Chains A and B, each alone.
Chain A
């Protein structure tokens, strides 16, 4: 409950900070842009979420359930775009287009934004689906097959429904991310509620007008959260049989495997190749420049700060998330649902609004920690708590209460049961959550700008400072972008290796 209250503080700020009144709200809503902004936001969120769901599930199936060559390598590679912040990715696309086809405006507007952001976001669905597919017992699907259904039908009717929690959890993250995305969309010249909110705050210095739009956004995310509940349905099917589940039989791709491999290569070229080559090109130009006076100490300092914040937040968010996810999975009910859902709302608000709320609150009541790293970590936790909760729910979903009951019946006390039975079973989910939080913290920009301790910088703010999205020469930004990608790729890589190992139990 405390955790939920903390997560709701930005919303309270929206409602109670002076300057919002009904007439203002009505005037804002009737302004000519509001309708366009709402439509744009919905189209973008829908387009990106559906594209990511399609890509994520298809890729997960390819690496888990087919005999595609080089699957272990591809499993890792497919997850790596996660480490490329969307604003960096878009930046590299814009830079690449300026270099190769300067007059083309293909990447701007809705289609460009959907394609480029989907390429950056699909791992949020791909990863949980891979984890869920690995955890599934093939027995159910085989039972369906033995009753005469075809492989495809068995997949759609038996397996896919079991992936619902994973897909819905990932999809919700993607959709809410789209609600809150700013940097990438500004670069891709697409206007949404969030870009308007950020511009109202950062250019017009009109936080009142921004807060009204934020309310519209908050209502939108509430609707999405309800929708997600309906799609997700009940958590289902923990395996309880004795013995160890077999690995599922693989679908044979036959000759088409080369086609699939080619398609995978093409996708990776777009999702990884373009950003990495733009960064590599920038690095080379920087090193070849005669006046190469790059401040390496600054880069190292920023890397250390980023790593520290990311680790601390991953830890704090994981601990804060455990009661929420446990409550939601084990004791589903109105209270649990409200608690769990409430953590999501702040996630969909633009970082600027959440940060302003925290500035306002901490200056008044928590002044000693204002602009310290603790404050920043608290801010990160509020933003990324739901990501940890989403992943943990999958984990706890697989830790059937029946195991607890068995342990309890053997005389283990309840706390011990939690640490010795539930937690280890849910650990893969908790770890996924922690890593996702870490990645997001590494990439976060807007909140860091407002809350970081003066004099320190993270890779994202240092990157922003070299470019401000206004210098198309990628050279100065390249080292920060490369370090950012490197630092976020490491946890992703470790985590995937972990999932790759066949679990000894089950």
Chain B
């Protein structure tokens, strides 16, 4: 009844499967044994290319290896919180100040060496000294000159709730957007902020991601968009220069909420068993001759060590005139989340 080939097939299948299992268990074991004593683990919310370049640069300078785990800021924060005191991470590098503050307020960060803090522009370090600001991004407007004149752009982001702007602009509820909301809660109060969010929700096009906002403006699907300067310069880099883009960047200035300057932070986790080496990484990262060079050259963010500037054509950081704040004040993420959900944005 049963032709032998069927059974032979079954045997082949089982053999293949067993071999595969052996392969994987072998691999798992191999991974278990490679942990060297001086390897740091970095959880990074920055783009992987930059984080990898920093790890390579630090290894070159000190001989200490850094394993990088990339993810989104908030993802990694959740993960560190769920891992609790047993987190394998020694270091955390973020894109935004908010997630840093979230970890700091839970007591998960070790204080940064004062010498390290002194290496960068003091205005962007948090007052608490729980983390060090190593790069910055400016909130800006991207606009498409074929659809709107720079002079016709709004003077401040608060006026975007006016129905006249309906359908004209795009936005993305990104980490920087959450930071903006946190800032607004401090600046104009909870009720006004909620009203503003509802207006944005009604008038704007929610494109979920900053990259999508930029691309929609560039393609001419929408006249302008709220975003971070960073994304536009990334696109300019990959297209071979700013002159190849249809869209432009408008820096709002004037201390407007739409000109917020947000710090990317680095910190040592309190649970790390390599405190000395981890602090050494922060010191190197904040140093004008160390990590700051890599940040300036590898990504269109503002380096923050005194005497280092970006070669990538950004508007000089001294000319930005953002609102004056302590980065540490961008802390009440819970309220911001609640309002964003209430307004129906996420």
Chain A interface residues toward B at CB < 8 A:
31-33, 36, 98, 102-103, 105, 186-187, 189, 195-196, 199-207, 209, 308-309, 311-312, 314-316, 318, 352, 356, 359-360, 363, 367, 370-374, 377, 419-421, 423-424, 427, 431, 449-450, 453-456, 465-466, 468-473, 504-505
Question: A31 and B67: CB pair below 8 A?
Answer: no
- Residue of chain A at shortest CB distance from B65: A455
Our pick among B41, B77, B207, B342 for the contact of A31 (Cβ within 8 Å) is B342
Chain A residues in 8 Å Cβ range of B88: 370-371, 454
Given A196-B346, A424-B7, A450-B75, also A308-B27 (CB < 8 A)? yes
Cα–Cα distance between A72 and B71 once the two chains are bound (Å): 43
Chain B residues in 8 Å Cβ range of A363: 82-84, 86
Our pick among B7, B41, B79, B340 for the contact of A204 (Cβ within 8 Å) is B340
B61, CB-defined interface residue at 8 Å: no
Taking A309-B24, A311-B20, A356-B78 as given, write out 7 further A-B residue pairs in contact, using a Cβ cutoff of 8 Å, ordered by the A residue number: A199-B208, A199-B346, A204-B74, A308-B24, A377-B24, A465-B47, A469-B209
B276, CB-defined interface residue at 8 Å: no
Cα–Cα distance between A9 and B142 once the two chains are bound (Å): 45
- B46 CB to nearest chain A CB (Å): 11
Given A201-B78, A311-B20, A367-B86, also A505-B47 (CB < 8 A)? no
Question: B2 and A471: CB pair below 8 A?
Answer: no
B69, CB-defined interface residue at 8 Å: yes
Given A449-B71, A471-B211, also A312-B82 (CB < 8 A)? no
Cα–Cα distance between A39 and B336 once the two chains are bound (Å): 26
Question: B71 and A205: CB pair below 8 A?
Answer: no
Cα–Cα distance between A465 and B72 once the two chains are bound (Å): 11
- B334 CB to nearest chain A CB (Å): 8
Question: B6 and A31: CB pair below 8 A?
Answer: no
Cα–Cα distance between A218 and B207 once the two chains are bound (Å): 27
Question: A470 and B231: CB pair below 8 A?
Answer: yes
Question: A359 and B221: CB pair below 8 A?
Answer: no
Chain B residues in 8 Å Cβ range of A420: 2, 7
Given A470-B211, A470-B231, A505-B3, also A203-B175 (CB < 8 A)? yes
Of B212-220, B255-263, B319-327, the one touching chain A = B212-220
Question: A102 and B220: CB pair below 8 A?
Answer: yes
- B141 CB to nearest chain A CB (Å): 18
- A413 CB to nearest chain B CB (Å): 16
Of B9-17, B111-119, B284-292, B304-312, the one touching chain A = B9-17
Question: B3 and A374: CB pair below 8 A?
Answer: no
- Residue of chain A at shortest CB distance from B83: A363
A-B pairs with the 5 shortest C-beta distances?
A: A470-B211, A102-B219, A205-B74, A312-B24, A311-B20
- Residue of chain A at shortest CB distance from B74: A205
Question: A424 and B207: CB pair below 8 A?
Answer: no
Cα–Cα distance between A390 and B4 once the two chains are bound (Å): 27
Chain A residues in 8 Å Cβ range of B77: 205
Question: B31 and A199: CB pair below 8 A?
Answer: no
Cα–Cα distance between A316 and B18 once the two chains are bound (Å): 10
B102, CB-defined interface residue at 8 Å: yes
Chain A residues in 8 Å Cβ range of B235: 471-472
Question: B86 and A427: CB pair below 8 A?
Answer: no
Cα–Cα distance between A202 and B79 once the two chains are bound (Å): 10
Chain B residues in 8 Å Cβ range of A427: 6, 9-10, 13
Cα–Cα distance between A318 and B18 once the two chains are bound (Å): 12
Which residues of B1-48 are within 8 A (CB) of A?
Answer: 1-3, 5-7, 9-10, 13, 17, 20-21, 23-24, 27-28, 31-32, 41, 47-48
Cα–Cα distance between A200 and B321 once the two chains are bound (Å): 31
Cα–Cα distance between A24 and B231 once the two chains are bound (Å): 36
Given A186-B208, A356-B82, also A450-B67 (CB < 8 A)? no
Question: B178 and A203: CB pair below 8 A?
Answer: yes
Given A203-B178, A363-B86, A450-B75, also A312-B221 (CB < 8 A)? no
Chain A residues in 8 Å Cβ range of B341: 31, 33, 200, 204, 206, 209
Chain B interface residues toward A at CB < 8 A:
1-3, 5-7, 9-10, 13, 17, 20-21, 23-24, 27-28, 31-32, 41, 47-49, 67-75, 77-79, 82-84, 86, 88, 99, 102, 173-175, 178, 207-212, 215, 218-221, 231, 234-235, 238-239, 333-334, 336-337, 340-342, 344, 346
- A431, A449, A466 pick with most chain B CB within 10 angstroms: A449
Chain A residues in 8 Å Cβ range of B1: 505
- Residue of chain A at shortest CB distance from B89: A454
- A424 CB to nearest chain B CB (Å): 5
- A40 CB to nearest chain B CB (Å): 13
- Residue of chain A at shortest CB distance from B43: A454
Cα–Cα distance between A79 and B28 once the two chains are bound (Å): 33
Cα–Cα distance between A356 and B79 once the two chains are bound (Å): 7
Chain A residues in 8 Å Cβ range of B9: 424, 427
Chain B residues in 8 Å Cβ range of A371: 88
- Residue of chain A at shortest CB distance from B336: A204
- B70 CB to nearest chain A CB (Å): 6
Cα–Cα distance between A500 and B277 once the two chains are bound (Å): 60
Cα–Cα distance between A318 and B21 once the two chains are bound (Å): 12
* 19 pairs from A and B in contact (CB 8 Å cutoff): A103-B220, A186-B208, A189-B208, A189-B212, A199-B173, A201-B78, A203-B175, A205-B73, A205-B78, A308-B24, A309-B24, A311-B20, A370-B86, A374-B28, A427-B6, A468-B47, A470-B231, A471-B211, A472-B211
Chain B residues in 8 Å Cβ range of A473: 238-239
- B226 CB to nearest chain A CB (Å): 15
Cα–Cα distance between A356 and B77 once the two chains are bound (Å): 12
Cα–Cα distance between A103 and B84 once the two chains are bound (Å): 47
- Residue of chain A at shortest CB distance from B246: A102
Our pick among B2, B24, B75, B340 for the contact of A201 (Cβ within 8 Å) is B75
Given A102-B221, A424-B6, A470-B231, also A465-B70 (CB < 8 A)? yes
Cα–Cα distance between A302 and B174 once the two chains are bound (Å): 29
Cα–Cα distance between A484 and B261 once the two chains are bound (Å): 39
Cα–Cα distance between A453 and B344 once the two chains are bound (Å): 36
Question: A470 and B7: CB pair below 8 A?
Answer: no
Chain B residues in 8 Å Cβ range of A199: 173, 208, 346
Chain B residues in 8 Å Cβ range of A207: 78
Chain B residues in 8 Å Cβ range of A505: 1-3, 6
- Residue of chain B at shortest CB distance from A313: B24
Question: B10 and A423: CB pair below 8 A?
Answer: yes
Cα–Cα distance between A20 and B221 once the two chains are bound (Å): 41
Our pick among A98, A203, A312, A456 for the contact of B21 (Cβ within 8 Å) is A312
- B31, B75, B212, B238 pick with most chain A CB within 10 angstroms: B75
Question: B47 and A472: CB pair below 8 A?
Answer: no
- B329 CB to nearest chain A CB (Å): 18
Chain A residues in 8 Å Cβ range of B218: 102
- B243 CB to nearest chain A CB (Å): 17
Cα–Cα distance between A309 and B344 once the two chains are bound (Å): 39
Chain B residues in 8 Å Cβ range of A421: 2
Question: A359 and B342: CB pair below 8 A?
Answer: no
- A199 CB to nearest chain B CB (Å): 5
- B89 CB to nearest chain A CB (Å): 9
Our pick among A189, A205, A424, A466 for the contact of B2 (Cβ within 8 Å) is A424
Cα–Cα distance between A453 and B3 once the two chains are bound (Å): 45
